Amino acid sequence: MTSVPLVDLAAQHAAVAAEIAEGWRQVLAQTSFIAGPQVAAFESEYAAFAGARHCVGVANGTDAIEIALRALRVGPGDECILPANTFIATAEAVCRAGATPVLVDCADDGTYLLDAGAVGAALTPRTRAIIPVHLYGQAAPVELLLPLAERAGAWVVEDAAQSQGARRGGNGAGVLGHVAATSFYPGKNLGAYGDAGAAITDSGELAERMRMIADHGTRRKYDHEVIGFNSRMDTLQAVVLSAKLRRLARWNADRQEAARRYDQLLEDVSEVVRPRVLAGNEHVWHLYVVRVPERDRVLKELHAAGIGAGIHYPVPVHLSPAFAGLGYADGAFPVAERAAREVLSLPLFPQITPAQQEHVVAALTAALRA
């Protein structure tokens, strides 16, 4: 049986193995395992890639959101508006900063991105941050959120964990709002060999404060100005990220070509609702997400056929037991809830071949019409 993984990290590693091995050899010789010179080099490289003035490397993407919120002095008594259809880490970071998540639905337009109209309706005098999630590889319409944030006296904090290299209106995801957080989890478009993340901004003052919070609240050893925590990027991960960053534009282009191929292969499969790209966006296809009937049965049959499909995400934040205390009922966000029942992520990675994609679509079509 021919199998196709959801993500093929081994194929990606083969392209960078020699460069990473040499980089790690240098780190081992230096013994600069945390915040070594390679971290500063990567921060500079990623800031330039994203089109930002500053990048602060941290331990993971969840920390990056929390650190950004803390640096903006968002905390107890404050509210942060975010979409119900996101990975739970977005809401977790709000709670860890001491603020309250206020959830809204996603747009019913095939993108599943944050609904700006719903954000406007959710604003209160306690709103201190709006957190658009750049979902599946394309940017949310941040330009619609900035006036809302200004009206409320709030910040726009981008969750850019799935959008390294994406652009909206010619500007990179991550520089559309006031500050952005991203994740370098191994399966991301730019992935480390473990956990890592970053916060990016054009504000030097904000960058300095985020760096301080990520290092126990200090700018100088043992001089602790605020209560921070430990969220520093490992030097070994910076080596991996720099090596992959040099190839990211090419890999994103390969993802775009694979997405076009899926669009063509699925054009006549009427049971499948294909993903939609929002006007003005350059999508980098972290995930290729379709909607199908009987999703759970179809997923089971795909797995039986050796197809590594997935679900992003099967439970909206408001229906997760962890956030039952927010008081939202089933039916509160119907678009997000329908997506949770029907979305299916097909295998997608830069090295996927046309033959693999044809095999995926054949298996999907057979499962749908069984």
Encoded tokens for 280: 């003005």
pLDDT of residue 232: 96
Contacts of 286 (CB under 8 A, 6+ apart): 136, 137, 162, 163, 188, 189, 255
Query: Which amino acid is located at 326 in the chain?
Result: L
Q: Categorize the per-residue pLDDT at 221 as very low, low, confident or very high, splitting at 50, 70 and 90.
A: confident
As a whole number, mean pLDDT of residues 236-246 equals: 98
Percent of the chain scoring above 90 in pLDDT: 97
pLDDT at 355: 98
> Do the domains spanning 9-241 and 248-368 agree at the CATH topology level?
no
Q: What is the mean pLDDT of the chain?
A: 97
Q: Which of 64, 76, 17, 40 is nearest to 247 (CA)?
A: 17
- Token duo for residue 130: 């709006």
pLDDT tens digits, 125-160:
999 999 999 999 999 999 999 999 999 999 999 999
Residue with tokens 């394309």: 138
Tokens of 322: 């962890």
User: Which CATH superfamily includes the segment(s) 248-368?
Assistant: Aspartate Aminotransferase, domain 1 (3.90.1150.10)
Asked if pLDDT for residue 349 goes beyond 90, the answer is yes
Structure tokens at 316: 């909206």
CA–CA–CA angle 155, 312, 109 (5° rounding)? 65
| Residue 37, SS3 per DSSP | helix
Q: Is 302 strand, coil or helix?
A: helix
Contact (Cβ atoms closer than 8 angstroms) between residue 81 and residue 116: no
For residue 1, pLDDT over 80 is answered with no
Closest CA to 131 of 187, 89, 172: 89
Domain spans of the chain?
Answer: 9-241, 248-368
- Res 2: pLDDT: 85
To the question of pTM greater than 0.75 for the whole model, the response is: yes
| Integer-rounded Cα radius of gyration of the chain | 20
For residue 193, what pLDDT is reported? Answer: 98
- For residue 210, the tally of other CB atoms under 10 A from its CB is 30
To the nearest 10°, report the CA torsion of 69, 311, 322, 104: 60
Interhelix angle 9-30/235-265, nearest 10 degrees = 170
Cis peptide before 313 (omega within 30 of 0): yes
- Position 83 pLDDT exceeds 80: yes
C-beta pairs of 98-103 under 8 Å, 24+ apart in sequence: 99/69, 99/74, 99/75, 99/128, 99/129, 100/126, 100/326, 101/317, 101/323, 101/326, 102/127, 103/317, 103/318, 103/326, 103/328, 103/332, 103/333
> What are the distances in angstroms from CA 202 to CA 51, 72, 81, 157?
9, 14, 22, 13
Q: What's the whole-number mean pLDDT along residues 180-199?
A: 98
Third-level CATH fold of 9-241: Aspartate Aminotransferase; domain 2 (3.40.640)
pLDDT at residue 29 above 80?
A: yes
